Copies of this chain bind each other. A is one copy, B any other.
Amino acid sequence: MGMLTPTLQHYVAGIEQEITAAMPSTDTLQKTVSEAMAYACEAGGKRLRPLLVLAFAELCGGTAQTAMPYACAIEMIHCYSLVHDDLPCMDNSLLRRGKSSVFAKYGEDMALLAGDGLLTRAFEWGLKPSHVAAAGADRAVEAMAILADAAGINGMVGGQTIDLESEGKSIDMDTLCALQAGKTGALLTAACEMGAVLGGADATAREAARRYGMELGLCFQIIDDILDVTSTAETLGKPVGADEENLKVTYVSLLGLEEAKRLARYHTDEALAALSIFDEKASDLTQMTKALLERSM
Residues of A within 8 A of B (CB): 24, 28-34, 37, 84, 87-90, 107-110, 112-113, 115-117, 119-121, 123-124, 127-129, 132, 137-138, 140-142, 144-145, 148-149, 151-154, 157-162, 164-165, 175, 178-179, 182
Contact = CB atoms under 8 A, between A and B. Distances in A.
A143 to B, nearest CB: 9
5 interchain residue pairs of minimum CB distance: A120-B152, A30-B158, A127-B145, A89-B108, A30-B161
Contact of A152 (B28, B110, B121, B137): B121
A119 B159 CA distance: 16
A135 to B, nearest CB: 11
B113 A87 contact: no
B87 A112 contact: yes
Question: Dominant SS at the A interface?
Answer: helix
Contacts of A158: 28-30, 33
Given A32-B165, A37-B153, A115-B116, 18 more contacts: A29-B165, A29-B178, A30-B159, A31-B161, A33-B153, A34-B153, A87-B89, A89-B108, A112-B112, A116-B157, A120-B151, A120-B153, A123-B123, A123-B144, A127-B144, A129-B142, A132-B141, A141-B141
Nearest to A125: B148
Contact of A141 (B90, B113, B140): B140
A157 B110 CA distance: 10
Contact of A161 (B84, B113, B124): B113
A112 B160 CA distance: 11
Contacts of A137: 137-138, 141
Contacts of A116: 84, 115-116, 119, 157
Number of copies: 2
Given A119-B119, A141-B140, A145-B128, A153 B30 contact: yes
Nearest to A129: B145
Nearest to A178: B29
A286 to B, nearest CB: 32
Nearest to A126: B148
Nearest to A151: B120
A84 B110 contact: no
Given A113-B157, A141-B141, A162 B123 contact: no
Contact of A175 (B29, B165, B179): B29
Nearest to A115: B116
A261 to B, nearest CB: 27
Q: Choose among A107, A159, A164 the residue with the greatest number of B CB atoms under 10 Å from its CB.
A: A164
A159 B116 CA distance: 13
A123 B148 contact: yes
A163 to B, nearest CB: 10
A113 to B, nearest CB: 6
